Amino acid sequence: MTEEKAMLETGWNFDNSYARLPQVFFTSFTPDAVRSPGLIILNTPLATELGLNADALQSKYGVAELAGNKIPEGAAPLAQAYAGHQFGNFNMLGDGRALLLGEQITPDGERFDIQFKGSGRTPYSRGGDGRAGLGQMLREYIISEAMHALDIPTTRSLAVVTTGESVLRETELQGAILTRVAASHIRVGTFQYAANFGSIEEVRELADYTIKRHYPEVDADDNRYLSFLREVIKRQASLIAKWQLVGFIHGVMNTDNMTISGETIDYGPCAFMDNYDPATVFSSIDRQGRYAYGNQPYIGGWNLARFAETLLPLLHDDQNEAIKIATEAIGEFNKFYHENWYAGMREKLGIFNAEEANEKLIEDLLNMMQKHSADYTNTFRSLTLDKLEDTALFNSEEFKMWNELWQARLSRQQESKEDSQQLMRNSNPAIIPRNHRVEEALEAAVERGDYSVMEKLLEVLSKPFAHTQEQTDFCTVPTEPNESYRTYCGT
């Protein structure tokens, strides 16, 4: 394909609705060109869904676009302003190393943000260099795509390119740019920015824009801003329940890393839990365990309370009334979260209907898993495949008793044993991006330029509920204990 033809055919179809918001919300600008762009990975199925031409994107011209060296026609690049509570402390932030190219309108008429991460300095970079390392961007690519395959709302990864420039951290890293795809990048922190640094009218404009984009169903409601708040709370309750159900630890649940669309965002220090332990923390900077696995639902509620605060002027003319309404709405988060979590846990145990006795069954199992340091994913996998002898719990008396109660519970429902097993197969992934597997893939890619390990891993991760024999190798737990694994932000 000639370059000129590729240029015509990459398939971008941009709209720039975000750029029509008041100027305070963003700064338009063109990214600096990088030295020598090189394509590392392109998500071909995602490119096709977006209406893009994967062949053209792999051409020299397409890769220049994915590096920010050529701005596609119709794009209007901008960095978004936001603020946020980081580990509880409020800061002015913004896209310091990200850049929104525009919103791609797909052949189905859907709208997705196309954003670079690692594309260089912006007006919001503060002291940072605006860059990202190859390992970290590939890690985000692998885990976000694994989350998508696990049916968890998430930003997605279209491509990673290297820049041909080095990035200086503790060591010298290869610079890279990730192209991220999201329903939008509007964060709790975007609302905090509006509420703290803008006018009430600007908060209203942001809220109206977000309702139109993500919650059109509340548009005509009497108190549309209250309905909006409640719907965001519901989506986040559902999202965080899904994280808990697969053992995902986000690692840096600052308010700027929580989306209004209900998608998981920012795969900096995240990791999956091996042994079941609510206190599990992987992030090297989370010394107090604020973002530990078991604390995520609480932090979700805390972040949403910060979101509710930004909407107070819109909820009621009388601010005391507004606080009352907002507090009631936030108070529902726990209920929504528990409904979602219990329903998901029930399904993991093959139980079709809600019943109070289920709760004890679930809690007893989790307690046993914690006591015996059982692997979270593999315990549910063994129950699903009826290979109880594979669990770390098998020889204990209490597990035998628990199993009898579980079997009795299953036989009390009208659905067949086969239906129940099918439900479990659909609810319990065999495959999660285990830390040692992700590290192995990144080491081969970054240290040796061998991408085959990552490609194999991505393929296995794309079918977590297949329960095939060939997955078995990827189900093994690491030989080193959980606790020694550490993740780092911002590299």
Ligand X SMILES: Nc1ncnc2c1ncn2[C@@H]1O[C@H](COP(=O)(O)OP(=O)(O)OP(=O)(O)O)[C@@H](O)[C@H]1O
Interface residue list for Mg ion (CB under 5 A): 257, 266
Our CB check for ligand X shows the closer of 50 and 253 to be 253
Residue 97, annotated as binding a ligand: yes
Q: Is 257 annotated as a binding residue?
A: yes
Min dist. Cβ of residue 95 to ligand X (A): 5
The entry of ligand X, Mg ion, none near residue 348 (CB within 5 to 8 angstroms by kind) is none
Distance CA 24, CA 112 (A): 22
DSSP letters, 265-298, are: ---SS-EE-SB--TT---BTT-TT-TT-GGGHHH
- Contact between 132 and 175 under an 8 Å Cβ cutoff? The reply is yes
Q: Which is nearer to Mg ion, 136 or 257 (CB)?
A: 257
Determine contact, residues 166/176, Cβ cutoff 8 Å: no
The closest alpha carbon to 146, from 11, 331, 271, belongs to: 271
What is d(CA 162, CA 230) in angstroms, rounded to the nearest whole number? 41
Catalytic (active-site) positions: 256
Would you say 263 or 274 has its CB closer to ligand X?
A: 263
* Residue number, nearest CB to Mg ion: 266
CA torsion, ordered 458, 459, 464, 468, to nearest 10 deg: -140
- Write the CA distances from 364 to 109, 361, 372, 402, 405, integer angstroms: 47, 5, 12, 8, 11
Are 479 and 439 in contact by the 8 Å Cβ rule? The answer is no
3-state helix, strand, coil in the chain (%, to 5): 50, 15, 35
Beta carbon of residue 185, minimum distance to Mg ion (angstroms, whole number): 10
Nearer to Mg ion by Cβ, of 89 and 479: the residue is 89
- The residue among 22 and 490 lying less far from ligand X, judged by its C-beta, is 490
Selection from Mg ion, ligand X, none that 56 binds (CB < 5 to 8 A by kind) is none
Q: Which of Mg ion, ligand X, none sits in contact with 96, Cβ below 5 to 8 A by type?
A: ligand X
- Fill in the amino acid letter for 178: L
Instruction: Confirm whether residue 129 is marked as ligand binding.
Output: yes
Binding site for ligand X (CB under 6 A): 93-98, 117, 125, 128-131, 252, 256-257, 265-266, 268, 489-490
**Interaction partner, residue 277 (ligand X, Mg ion, none; CB < 5-8 Å by kind):** none
**Residue 231 binding result from Mg ion, ligand X, none, given CB thresholds of 5 to 8 Å by partner type:** none
Containing 80, the helix (H) or strand (E) segment is strand 78-80
Q: Which residues pair with 178 in a beta bridge?
A: 117, 160
190 vs 378, beta carbon nearer ligand X? 190
51 is in an annotated binding site: no
Residue 385 interacting partner from ligand X, Mg ion, none (CB closer than 5 to 8 Å by kind): none
* Partner interacting with residue 311 (select from Mg ion, ligand X, none; CB below 5-8 Å by kind): none
CB 79 within 8 A of CB 110: no
Nearest distance in Å: CB 372, ligand X: 35
Minimal distance in Å, beta carbon 84 to Mg ion? 8
Cβ proximity to Mg ion, 205 vs 256, nearer residue: 256
Burial 326-337 (b: 16+ CB within 10 A, else e): beebbeebeebb
Q: Was 180 annotated as part of a binding site?
A: yes
Least distance in Å: CB of 173 to ligand X?
11
Least separation in angstroms between residue 120's CB and ligand X is 9
Q: How far is the CB of 18 from ligand X (least distance, A)?
A: 15
Which of 257, 253, 296 minimizes the C-alpha distance to 273?
Answer: 296
Question: How far is residue 209 from each of residues 32, 194, 205, 212, 258, measured CA to CA in Å?
Answer: 30, 13, 6, 5, 18
Question: Which helix (H) or strand (E) segment is 309 a member of?
Answer: helix 296-315
- Binding-site residue positions for Mg(2+): 257, 266
**Which parts are annotated binding residues for ATP?**
94, 96-97, 117, 129-130, 180, 187, 266
